[in-house]
Every structure is written in structure tokens, then in C-alpha cells.
A = this chain, B = another copy of it.
Amino acid sequence: MAKVAVVGASGFTGGELLRILLAHRYVEVEIATSRTNAGEYLHTVHPNLRGLTMLRFEAPNVDRLTRCDIAFLSTPAKVSSELTPKLLETGVKVIDLSPDFRLKNPDEYRRWYGWSHPHPELLEEAVYGLPELHRDRIRSARLIACPGCTATAAILGLAPLAREKIILGDYLVVDVKIGSSGAGLSRSLSSHHSERANVVRPYAPAGHRHVAEIEQELERLGNPVRVGFSAHAVDMVRGILATCHVYPTRSLDIKDLWRIYRGFYKGEPFVRFVRDKKGLFRYPDPKAVVGSNFCDIGFEVDEHTGRIVVLSAIDNLVKGAAGSAVQCMNIMLGLDETESLRIPSLHPV
């Protein structure tokens, strides 16, 4: 029975970690920290946990955390880069859900995040927590850097093409649509229901920080690109759809795509292909993955333009955050990778 801590447990991602970990048969949630809610029952903040646990939030404290085997850090940027070295030193493994260890090149932190990384020596050791790409390294990792939510959708959608060097790197467009939980619990006006309902808000037409990690991972697969990335807030609570518009380096038809994608994701427990002739859900749609750890991937060839359209849908809080993190933990602990994650999505919802 591994002991785990959730640091920053009162946010949406923290809540999802708790939901999944409390139902996990082989781990015990020892600590859930929250500065604001210290002393309160988890269900005060996460009403879905009512009746399922009597655990309470506690204030964060490094000494207490060292009692755990694994700490999930669901903390704001720059917090985990300070906390992580302390935990690693005492033998606690870290699964970091913040952006602090995702990029290999410290210069990229300066460029995209505007700060100097305080522990660049850990960047190379940190493993980018996408099991579909880095399963072997995750197994023995001390430090996992979980991907950004939109990056997860984009990378899983594009990785098979990247390994085949199919993406024309100068003209890659990734157009992302995301639900309100992606912005976290911040009480900004932009999250006010009256201002957030019924929007298609292009909150980052250019310059989104996840570009850095998408480019890093696609390059590691052999296909350097510059991503023309635009992110839009749409009216849903959970979910991401990444629409990837790819101009290919060579001509491909649908059969080629099926072969490439099937080959790449053979045996993956949480990647599903969605490209049907019938039904409402013929292509990936975040609605069909809400609450699950699945990444649904589909594709189309636009014969008019030669463009390949890759569609990739995830629940931003699950496969885009907590679910992927637990999947990494399962791998690190030598457990069945799907433990506590075999939950179908809800439909309709």
C-alpha cells in the first residue's frame, strides 16, 4: 500500500486526483494539502467526495510530506520547482502537474515563461509524463513532469505522424477548444458564469506556453515543427478538442493513416480511434470522454486541399491532468497501468 500526498488538493485537478486515488486499491491518500481550506473536510470543496472519506485538508508542510512515497504536486507554476528538490532529497517521488519540469532546455523557460529555472539540473532527469511516449522511462523515474492539458491532446494526436516525419513543419495549425475547468478555480471575471457562458473566446490566438512542449516532443519524435497554436474557451466545463490541421510532406490516404495510427498506438489502453460511418459520435468529441482517461483520436483527409485533419479529444482534468498522473504512478509502482482508471465516461452529460 503506497502512501501518497496531494499537494494543492483544493483545486479542480486536486479534486480529480482525490477522486481517483481514494478509489484506488493499492494506494492510500495520506495527505491532502490546502492553505485556504486547512482543517475542513474534503467534501466542503469537492462535493462529490461527500460520504466517501473523512479526510481533511491540512496546511502544506514539507516534513509531513516526507511520510509519503509519492507526492502529486498540483501547485501553481514556480512552486513545485522549489518544493521538488526538497522532496526528492528525502526519497519522496514527485509527480508534478505544474509546468515546472516539462521543458528540457532551461532557455525555453526564459522564453515562454519569463523566468530563470531555479533547478535546471533536474530538467534532464524529469520524465515527460506521457505514458504513450515515455513508458519505459516513467517506470524508473523519480520525477514526472505531467504534460499541459492542451499539449496532451495535441501531442497524442500528432505523434504518429511526427514519427513518420509527415508534418510539414512550417504550416502546422493546432486549433484548440477548451472548457472552463481548464482555467482553474481563479475567481477572475473571465470565469464568471454570465461572462463565460455561450462564448467562443479566443483567449490565446498566439503565444500559448504549451507550444514549447508540443514542439519539444514532436522534435524528439523526429519531426521538428513550429506550431501555429490558437486556443479558444468554449461553453462546457470539462473537455478539450484539438483540431490539428496538417499539411503533409507526402501524399497519404485514409488507409495509410489507419496503418500509421494503429501501429503507433497498438496496445495502448487509453487511446481509442473514432472514425465511424454512422452515429452521432463519428469523430472525437470531448463530450464522449468526460470523466474518463481516454484520448479519442480521429482523422480525415481533405481531398480538396491535401490537408490532413487530426482530431484529438480528452477530458482536461483526467487524461489532461489527474488521470495521466495516476497512470504514471501505476507504472512507477509496477501496477496494472489502468488501475482505478477503467471508468467509462458518462453519456449523455
In the assembled complex, the CB of A14 is this many whole angstroms from the nearest CB of chain B, namely 11
Known: A237-B194, A348-B181. A302 touches B206 (CB 8 A): yes
Flag A184-203 by CB within 8 Å of B: 1 or 0 each.
01011111111111111111
Interface residues of A in 174-228 (CB under 8 A from B): 175, 177, 179-181, 185, 187-203, 205-207, 211, 226-228
B234 near A202: Cβ-Cβ < 8 Å: no
In the assembled complex, the CB of A23 is this many whole angstroms from the nearest CB of chain B, namely 7
Known: A200-B234, A239-B198. A278 touches B227 (CB 8 A): no
A189 near B280: Cβ-Cβ < 8 Å: yes
In the assembled complex, the CB of A218 is this many whole angstroms from the nearest CB of chain B, namely 14
Q: Does A139 contact B (CB under 8 A)?
A: no
Q: Please give, as numbers and ranges, the residues of chain B lying within 8 Å of A287 by CB-CB distance.
A: 47, 197-201
Q: Does A303 contact B (CB under 8 A)?
A: yes
- Distance between Cα atoms of A202 and B194 in the complex (Å): 18
> Is the interface on chain A under 10, 10 to 19, 20 to 34, or 35 or more residues?
35 or more
Q: Please give, as numbers and ranges, the residues of chain B lying within 8 Å of A236 by CB-CB distance.
A: 198-200, 234-235
A194 near B290: Cβ-Cβ < 8 Å: no
Q: Please give, as numbers and ranges, the residues of chain B lying within 8 Å of A241 by CB-CB distance.
A: 200, 202, 232
Q: Please give, as numbers and ranges, the residues of chain B lying within 8 Å of A303 by CB-CB distance.
A: 206-207
Chain B residue at smallest Cβ distance from A175: B175
From A38-46, A64-72, A81-89, the one touching the partner chain is: A38-46
Known: A23-B344, A226-B305. A177 touches B180 (CB 8 A): no
In the assembled complex, the CB of A108 is this many whole angstroms from the nearest CB of chain B, namely 12
Q: Please give, as numbers and ranges, the residues of chain B lying within 8 Å of A285 by CB-CB distance.
A: 47, 199-202
Q: Does A288 contact B (CB under 8 A)?
A: yes
Q: Please give, as numbers and ranges, the residues of chain B lying within 8 Å of A228 by CB-CB distance.
A: 245, 302, 305, 307, 309
Interface residues of A in 234-284 (CB under 8 A from B): 234-239, 241, 243, 245, 247, 272, 274, 276, 278-281, 283-284
Interface residues of A in 57-106 (CB under 8 A from B): none
- Distance between Cα atoms of A304 and B226 in the complex (Å): 7
Q: Please give, as numbers and ranges, the residues of chain B lying within 8 Å of A226 by CB-CB distance.
A: 304-305
Chain B CB count within 10 A is highest, among A48, A49, A170, A304, for A48
B348 near A346: Cβ-Cβ < 8 Å: no
> Which of B235, B237, B288 sits near A48, CB closer than 8 Å?
B288
Q: Does A8 contact B (CB under 8 A)?
A: no
A-B pairs, 5 with minimum CB distance: A206-B302, A47-B281, A193-B196, A47-B288, A48-B347
